[in-house]
Homo-oligomer: A and B are copies of this chain.
């Protein structure tokens, strides 16, 4: 690697004092426009580049944003976080910050990683995801008075900067769509209440409110809550569907795409035509659901926009320009596909 040109060398070549050149190259002083241009011209010609480490020592700022996320098992998709990460890297880099990606750890060990990065001056702020209802990281960072912005909400009594997608509105769109197709016998599959994050609670709330508003009563045994995975959704829907067509649900709402895929497989195994005899909806609009046969209706979250808003808010806080609104809810979008595009054919 070529040696860096020093400020001293630039000063000698440009014919100005070390002090003047140093201050110009570090944007610390106003000199005449002519002097400034002359110094920068010489510096650029000589290949001068600011030394990040030396500059950090002076400013005690690292220019780094810490980011960590809870990984999915390798046999499950995790499109949301890949896309979110790309958007925050894009936004932060375009605004002079780099992303330091550090690993997820279970429980309180995760907080230790945050603590360590703060104590070693590694980062200037954090972007948080996978927010839990009583998130220990939020408690810790607020105690430390250390800058962060969250993708997601937590305990509603806590006040901290966040951007989130309005899952309740997404579920309302799903319910209104199904009701407009004539569905009355609607069943739901959600995560268990114990496991449920604020995400699950928010979606459930929107769902129940919209069903009540439409005058649709969902019997308790048609509200399943469990692991939130393929196997649970498959087993549950198999039991619901393996009965008289006039008694079984005509539509099943799931709270994430992989559960919807479980329901599709159960229907297929029973010879029930998805899209004709049974409507199914997912949530997240994962890349694969467009290719399913039939293709799956789902809710698309504006992930790129969330990432940009989170980054913008954090960088505003770091540079002393905090935005007035630090609680942003973005609206998702209903993507209707073949799994629910036909009117209900059962009375």
Contact = CB atoms under 8 A, between A and B. Distances in A.
Interface string A43-68: 00000011111101100101010010
B291 A1 contact: no
A118 B1 contact: yes
A81 B86 CA distance: 12
Interface of A: 1-2, 4, 49-54, 56-57, 60, 62, 64, 67, 71-72, 74-79, 81-83, 85-86, 89-90, 93, 98-103, 116, 118-122, 144-146, 230, 258, 261-262, 265, 268, 286-288, 290-291, 293, 303-304
Contacts of A52: 62, 120-122
Contact of A53 (B62, B145, B288): B62
B89 A102 contact: yes
Given A49-B120, A53-B57, A93 B100 contact: no
Contact of A122 (B60, B98, B290): B98
**Number of chain copies forming the complex:** 2
A315 to B, nearest CB: 15
Contacts of A102: 89, 93, 98-99
A225 to B, nearest CB: 21
Contacts of A1: 118, 144-146
12 contacts: A1-B118, A50-B120, A51-B120, A67-B101, A72-B82, A82-B82, A89-B102, A93-B103, A98-B102, A98-B122, A261-B288, A265-B293
A264 to B, nearest CB: 8
Contacts of A258: 291
Contacts of A76: 287
A75 B289 CA distance: 10
